[in-house]
Structure 1
Amino acid sequence: MRLVLVLLQLLLAHALAVPGLAAPDTHRLGTLPREALAEMIVPPYSLGDPIGEDGVWSLLNSGGTQAGYVFQTEPLAPLPGFSGAPIDMLVTLDLAGRFIDVRLVSQNEPIFVSGLGEAPLRGFLEQYGGLSIADSLVVGTPYGAAGAGSSLVYLDGVTKATASVRIAHESILAAALKVAREKMQGIASAPPSRPDPDHVEALTWDDLVAQDIVTHAVVRNAELNARFADTIWSHDDPEARAAPDAAFLDLWMVDLGPPSIARAALSEETLAELGRFAEIAPHDEPILLIESARHGLVGEDFVRNTAPDLLSAHQGGLPVALRDSDIFVELAPGMPEGRAMILRADRRLGFDPSAEWTLNVLALREHGMLRPEIGSASFEIAHATPERFFERPAQPVAQSPWREALRARTADLGLLALLLATLFAALWPGLRRTASAEVLTPFRLSALVLVTGFVGWWGQGQLSIVTVLGVIRTAIEGGSFAFLLYDPFGLAVWGAAILGFVIWGRALFCGWLCPFGALQEFAHHAGRLLRLPQIRPSATWDRRLKSLKYIALAGLVLLVILAPDHVDKAAEIEPFKTAITTFFLREWYYVAYAAFWLLLGTVLFKGFCRYLCPLGAVMAIGGLLRGRDWIARRAPCGSPCQLCRVKCAYGAIEKSGHVNYSECFGCLDCVSIHDDPARCVPLVLDARRPSRARSAAPLIAE
């Protein structure tokens, strides 16, 4: 009993405090063997060698060179799921931080083990291909239509399993970002800046040069000769050897994205053409290059509107794709003379024009006549445009998983709060009014319909022993209890049930908030309408059968400690997942098991709830926190009156008239009898006495 009370306290404390992830148990967490990993790699890629000791492998392309990284999520980010165990996935990531593939390795989530099956989870993971870890990825759907300008990327969740896929999503991101930080360079963590259309300055070319808005680089022949010294190409450029002080490369470079800069550098005609280009390709940043020496910027085989063969760029350790914009360039008066071309770099691919980037200029030499050997030398030219010309869109920060889950369930939580408030009011200050003969039956049946339809099938708020076992397993393994927050709707029901312990014992949840319990009660009413014979065990057998739920609870707790990997199957002792979570859409034997208890309920009143439910055992033990005897009793209750005991279908009233709150489901039948002068035997007898002798029997509990 003390163990369960401690666990209930842990449930509240950790659900509110949400500590950070504990260090993974490296003795428990393992990686797949190389052979198994290799089989899961998508062709034409293949598995390379391990990198370090944290389970990260190199990913090779068809040519055998490194193309990215392969890793499992469990060793890097062991976020516990609802079973207490992490969801393990294999991630292949390219060198630019884009997902190539995400595949499921193992999982023990109750909803996927035998509920929906693994197919929906595998389908969810297929959405990651082509996305980047720099994207703002969100599980769910946006409110209203997702605008084309939104930089949040929404992943479709899995109905009835949103909390579990959120855990899988966070595991993937946490592991991928850890690999990026440790193994990769330059992954963008914020959206790139873009030219500010409202920033206006009156600038000339001389102003651009004076303010270092333009980069000017000169490479002389002597420097070029030095690059090829002591090679077979050292004598293959007679012009460079003849004039070592002459310029081989005389390059001007300026970013034309900011309108003020473009107006200072281009003629009116070219400026207008650049404007039309910006309408067609709004995400491209135009870069003007003017070269007035021998290099010429491009080779003889260059084709317009393609990537220049002699020019490339990089920023932050990653390559930047450059491409000719195919614009005929006419410069403004006073500009340097030379060959001019406008290249473009796509900001959507991570290029940030306000940050420093580097242009690589390639110089080639040929040695030999028939089949010449090609030699090359690269010159790096750094460029940065002042920040004032750009604006940076606010980073759309994806909310923490629990906040995102809370946002997605806002409307449902509001309706649940209204339902809980109504129940609390009806069962506490309004108890006697609720228990009146004319109110009780319609109110109770209406409440149970709402609990089954809204809390159960719609809200997926059916509490389960799986959560309790997950808390126990997480506590044993020293993990994080944050998984509780991925299901705010269920957590709210847990909070109401735990608060109910103090006020009513187990009665609030078991009698009023359990969807499967409501289904059993409807089955009982159906049996009565069909006039089926009712099974009512003797008091002795009733006590014996009620002990089974505590034995079931003890067995499950032992299984968590001794064989945690088998808990998900053992927890199927509850038919909740079948009847409520999946709405009977499961394998036939699970459906038959749930149907058995409902059919039995037509002749045996709430047999599963009373005799076998391990969650009911937890609720009964939690009910020991109850601070009052809330069902009123009179001195004659039990002696001589036995009416409430006889009418109590739960067997929760003893011969003495005392209420056994560990077995009381709060149906209010006894409260209704107690307050009814036409049914309560002491009140009926008291009404028949002469007025001078009439005195109401005193209440002994209120």
Structure 2
Amino acid sequence: MAGRILLLIACLFWLTTAHAELSGERRALIQELFPSATVIKDRLPDFPVYPVYQLQELLGYAYVSTDFTRLQGFAGKPIKLLIGLDTRGRFTGVKVLNHHEPVFLHGLGEEPLFQFTDQYENRSLREQIIVGTSNSSRSGRDAGGNVVYFDGVSKATVSVLILNDTVLSSALQVARQKLEGFAQAAPTRAKPDFYEPLSWHQLIDRGYIGHWQVDAKTVEVAIGRPLSDYPTAIEPPEGEPFSELFFGYINAPMVGRNLLGDEGYQQLMKRYEGGAQVLAVFSHGSFLHVAEDFVPGSAPDRIGLTQNNLAVEMRDLNLLGPTLQLQLGGIPAFDASHLFRVGGSLGFNPGAEANLKLNITLARNHLMVDHTTFDIPVRFNDDLFETVEIAASPEDTREPVWVGLWKERWWQISVLLIGLAVLTVFFAKQKSLSRHPRLVRRFRWGFLFFTLFFIGFYAQGQLSVVNIYTIFLAIWDGFSLDVFLLDPVIFILWIYTFITLFIWGRGLFCGWLCPFGVLQEMAAWLGEKLKFRQVRVPERWHRRLILLKYPILLGLVGTAFYSLTLAEQLAEVEPFKTSITLLFVRYWPFVVYAVGLLVIGMFIHKFYCRYLCPLAAGLAVLGRFRLFSWLDRVELCGNPCQHCKNECGINAIRKDGRVDYDECIQCLECVVILRDEDQCVDKRIQNKKRERQASILATDAG
């Protein structure tokens, strides 16, 4: 028995060792990250990193990102990276090991992804990396202080922002554990009950609010020229500071309650009860902490925050105004006042030392610009804070990625919500509005153009079957709403579509909000204008072919649980990515397929939507639970009248007059016909009866 136990222990030890051993492929990749390495050790048993040496000198560490963070990508799975970090906290490179981002796998190709990760080489954790939303000439350039801009990837904004967050949050965990100079001081938080009413001067005198100023002469010495050499610089009056700053940690009740009043402080803390940290900055003088063209809600260029030699993210909350004002009596009139959310992926320890950096940039002319930076010590009175026994992990304290994306796209969200509200009102009043056929047709085509060019081409709001199996996979792996919040336009469209499925059925989305559906509609219109013979699929074949999209849907969803990569490849049955996301700029077979479907649609109305679309199948299934049947029918519909059926391009009306809501795209053409005195047979018969009755009455009266 003892021998068997020893054998089992030996096997377990062997398996553990085998798991920790470095494979040849992984070793080769690490060698690329550290070209001068002579020794690459196996992964440490107590911390998942690979130490890398040149002879006896430690060069740094390589590690796999998923060992530290599993932030989900756009497809619901994390992006797996191999990252190199040297002993000074500089990235030696980032390699993509595995990912499921559809836009790179089957759209743009992976080269833009690799070009993005190449930008990390030789950048430091001490720099604040800001990813642009599209390609920009600012890549790699400092914007003052430690701020560095990276080129984004057009049409893949969400994916690269997730990747950036993965790189920074994982690297920070490694640096704090393994690198000198990155260790955190004991974590602190504001004392919740430490408060007494104080005046503005008492807050400053006791160190609860920081104060700093610089005069014009000091600036001239630092920059090496008199201020008179700079046309845009304003020399302050004699004895006045060039720049004067005040700053305070709003989360501390001693500061927040005194400055904002009890009601304002509670309002702010309730709004950001998830742990957001807020720093107030006020300034006056010739040079303020924000420029005149500062965009509210963004990160400031003139001022930055560092702690432990790391750049800490600052973002304006855009809250000070009519609803939230400074309430403290005797407070000076400032030229600029802002509340900044601080922390980001690096976190912020309010009771530890930090620095504000004021970046002064003065232009001699349009070609020559001079810079200087002043470090402003940030050290508040220790009485404000208490020590926390266990530090929160960076992933617990940072602002979710999706929050920044929603702020950045606020105007797109606003336009979309207005458009959806207008569409909802139109559909709610369709019975009365359908009495005006010209109005209905003009509104429909106007909204279709809005869907194609704004929702589709500009905002990239094309829903896809990929979203459906992403939901199933998220439920299977552990549901997280954050994955779906990453794209605000897609999220809003899905919520709206889901709700309206139970009111109007599938047709509201398929007929009005699907950008590729609009392309099919336009192709059909063009086919008619070019007098192409319109093919009507025989009824018995039509009823069979409309079922084809359901096994396609089941096959895609089932495949996703077997292989997400294979499912993403099979999802190319949807031409949405080729036509809407990439504007037909893609490898030629994909373009031929998408264009071919549109050409077929010039002869067979909305061929793809009717017979092949798996997304339409999924929506039709849920649409069967709709609460209402909005499209009225009358006794003569289908018996004998077939006018609506003959005019229905998508053939969603059966011979007996019933509307097939699983196929209907809610174009409202049949509703217009039903209320048209000249088109509806029932209306014409009723009118003739009334005319005959009136004639009889007139004859009798004569």
1:424-439 pair list within 5 angstroms: 424-433=424-433, 436-439=436-439
- Structure 2 counterpart SS, 1:92: strand
**Residues 692 and 32 (structure 1), Cα distance of their counterparts in 2 relative to 1, 3 Å cut:** farther
Task: Report the counterpart of residue 90 of structure 1 in structure 2.
Answer: 82
Q: Is the 8 A contact 2:95 2:117 kept in 1?
A: yes
**Residues 188 and 636 (structure 1), Cα distance of their counterparts in 2 relative to 1, 3 Å cut:** farther
What are the superposed Cα offsets for residues 474-526 of structure 1, whole Å, 9 maximum, x if unpaired?
A: 22233634221111111111112112112211111100000000001100011
1:482 equivalenced with 2:474 (yes/no): no
**Residues 574 and 189 (structure 1), Cα distance of their counterparts in 2 relative to 1, 3 Å cut:** farther
Amino acid at match of 1:440: V
Task: Report the counterpart of residue 560 of structure 1 in structure 2.
Answer: 560
What are the superposed Cα offsets for residues 275-315 of structure 1, whole Å, 9 maximum, x if unpaired?
A: 9875579xxxxxxxxxxxxxxxxxxxxxxxxxxxxxxxxxx
In 1, the alpha carbon distance for the partners of 2:380 and 2:410 equals 41
In 2, the alpha carbon distance for the partners of 1:494 and 1:693 equals 53
- Structure 1 counterpart SS, 2:59: strand
Q: Is the 8 A contact 2:460 2:581 kept in 1?
A: yes
Count residues in correspondence.
Answer: 494
Q: Is the 8 A contact 2:127 2:310 kept in 1?
A: no
Task: Report the counterpart of residue 529 of structure 2 in structure 1.
Answer: 529
1:528-607 pair list within 5 angstroms: 528-607=528-607
In 2, the alpha carbon distance for the partners of 1:386 and 1:505 equals 58
In 2, the alpha carbon distance for the partners of 1:629 and 1:591 equals 38
Q: Is the 8 A contact 2:126 2:309 kept in 1?
A: no
- How far did 1:31 drift? 10
RMSD value, Cα: 3.9
TM-score if structure 2 supplies the norm length? 0.64
Segment drifting more, 482-491 vs 175-184? 175-184
1:445 equivalenced with 2:445 (yes/no): yes
**Residues 55 and 32 (structure 1), Cα distance of their counterparts in 2 relative to 1, 3 Å cut:** farther
**Residues 179 and 445 (structure 1), Cα distance of their counterparts in 2 relative to 1, 3 Å cut:** same
1:169 equivalenced with 2:161 (yes/no): no
1:467-506 pair list within 5 angstroms: 467-478=467-478, 480-506=480-506
In 2, the alpha carbon distance for the partners of 1:410 and 1:189 equals 35
Among 25, 32, 44, which residue is 1:35 paired with?
25
1:48-447 pair list within 5 angstroms: 48-53=40-45, 56-140=48-132, 148-149=143-144, 153-184=148-179, 186-187=181-182, 279=223, 349=309, 387=379, 399-433=399-433, 436-447=436-447
Task: Report the counterpart of residue 284 of structure 1 in structure 2.
Answer: none
Task: Report the counterpart of residue 230 of structure 1 in structure 2.
Answer: none
In 2, the alpha carbon distance for the partners of 1:31 and 1:491 equals 43
In 2, the alpha carbon distance for the partners of 1:59 and 1:89 equals 17
Q: Is the 8 A contact 2:112 2:153 kept in 1?
A: yes
Q: Is the 8 A contact 1:31 1:72 kept in 2?
A: no
What are the superposed Cα offsets for residues 103-133 of structure 1, whole Å, 9 maximum, x if unpaired?
A: 2222221100121011111122122233333
In 2, the alpha carbon distance for the partners of 1:85 and 1:451 equals 29
Task: Report the counterpart of residue 683 of structure 2 in structure 1.
Answer: 683
- How far did 1:547 drift? 0.5
In 2, the alpha carbon distance for the partners of 1:686 and 1:169 equals 69
What are the superposed Cα offsets for residues 448-498 of structure 1, whole Å, 9 maximum, x if unpaired?
A: 111111111111000011111112222223363422111111111111211
TM-score if structure 1 supplies the norm length? 0.64
In 1, the alpha carbon distance for the partners of 2:46 and 2:415 equals 46
Task: Report the counterpart of residue 509 of structure 1 in structure 2.
Answer: 509
- How far did 1:45 drift? 3.9
- How far did 1:532 drift? 0.6
Q: Is the 8 A contact 1:91 1:102 kept in 2?
A: yes
Amino acid at match of 1:681: V
Higher relative contact order (CA 8 A, sep 6+): 1
- How far did 1:180 drift? 3.1
- How far did 1:42 drift? 3.9
In 1, the alpha carbon distance for the partners of 2:59 and 2:150 equals 25
**Residues 429 and 154 (structure 1), Cα distance of their counterparts in 2 relative to 1, 3 Å cut:** farther
**Residues 469 and 532 (structure 1), Cα distance of their counterparts in 2 relative to 1, 3 Å cut:** same
Q: Is the 8 A contact 2:44 2:50 kept in 1?
A: no
Segment drifting more, 480-489 vs 45-54? 45-54
- How far did 1:398 drift? 7.4
In 1, the alpha carbon distance for the partners of 2:353 and 2:417 equals 53
In 2, the alpha carbon distance for the partners of 1:520 and 1:57 equals 53
- Unaligned stretches of 5+ in structure 1? 1-25, 191-198, 200-257, 261-271, 282-345, 358-384, 695-702
In 1, the alpha carbon distance for the partners of 2:500 and 2:379 equals 59
**Residues 544 and 31 (structure 1), Cα distance of their counterparts in 2 relative to 1, 3 Å cut:** farther
- How far did 1:401 drift? 0.7
- Structure 1 counterpart SS, 2:152: coil
**Residues 355 and 428 (structure 1), Cα distance of their counterparts in 2 relative to 1, 3 Å cut:** closer
What are the superposed Cα offsets for residues 82-114 of structure 1, whole Å, 9 maximum, x if unpaired?
A: 333321111111223332211222222110012
In 1, the alpha carbon distance for the partners of 2:410 and 2:213 equals 44
- Structure 2 counterpart SS, 1:679: coil
In 2, the alpha carbon distance for the partners of 1:501 and 1:476 equals 24
In 2, the alpha carbon distance for the partners of 1:493 and 1:347 equals 41
**Residues 399 and 692 (structure 1), Cα distance of their counterparts in 2 relative to 1, 3 Å cut:** same
**Residues 155 and 692 (structure 1), Cα distance of their counterparts in 2 relative to 1, 3 Å cut:** same
Q: Is the 8 A contact 2:82 2:96 kept in 1?
A: yes
- Structure 1 counterpart SS, 2:49: strand
In 1, the alpha carbon distance for the partners of 2:491 and 2:352 equals 45
- Structure 1 counterpart SS, 2:449: helix
What are the superposed Cα offsets for residues 39-69 of structure 1, whole Å, 9 maximum, x if unpaired?
A: 3324224662134348833343544421221
Q: Is the 8 A contact 2:412 2:459 kept in 1?
A: yes
Amino acid at match of 1:610: R
In 2, the alpha carbon distance for the partners of 1:59 and 1:356 equals 31
Q: Is the 8 A contact 2:20 2:45 kept in 1?
A: no
- Unaligned stretches of 5+ in structure 2? 1-15, 186-200, 202-211, 226-305, 312-348, 355-376, 383-393, 695-702
- How far did 1:387 drift? 4.6
Amino acid at match of 2:23: P
- Structure 2 counterpart SS, 1:633: coil
Task: Report the counterpart of residue 313 of structure 1 in structure 2.
Answer: none
Task: Report the counterpart of residue 15 of structure 1 in structure 2.
Answer: none
- Structure 1 counterpart SS, 2:33: coil
Identity rate, percent: 36
**Residues 62 and 650 (structure 1), Cα distance of their counterparts in 2 relative to 1, 3 Å cut:** same
**Residues 105 and 479 (structure 1), Cα distance of their counterparts in 2 relative to 1, 3 Å cut:** farther
In 2, the alpha carbon distance for the partners of 1:571 and 1:32 equals 36
1:44 equivalenced with 2:39 (yes/no): no
In 2, the alpha carbon distance for the partners of 1:169 and 1:134 equals 15
What are the superposed Cα offsets for residues 18-51 of structure 1, whole Å, 9 maximum, x if unpaired?
A: xxxxxxxx9xx99983433433324224662134
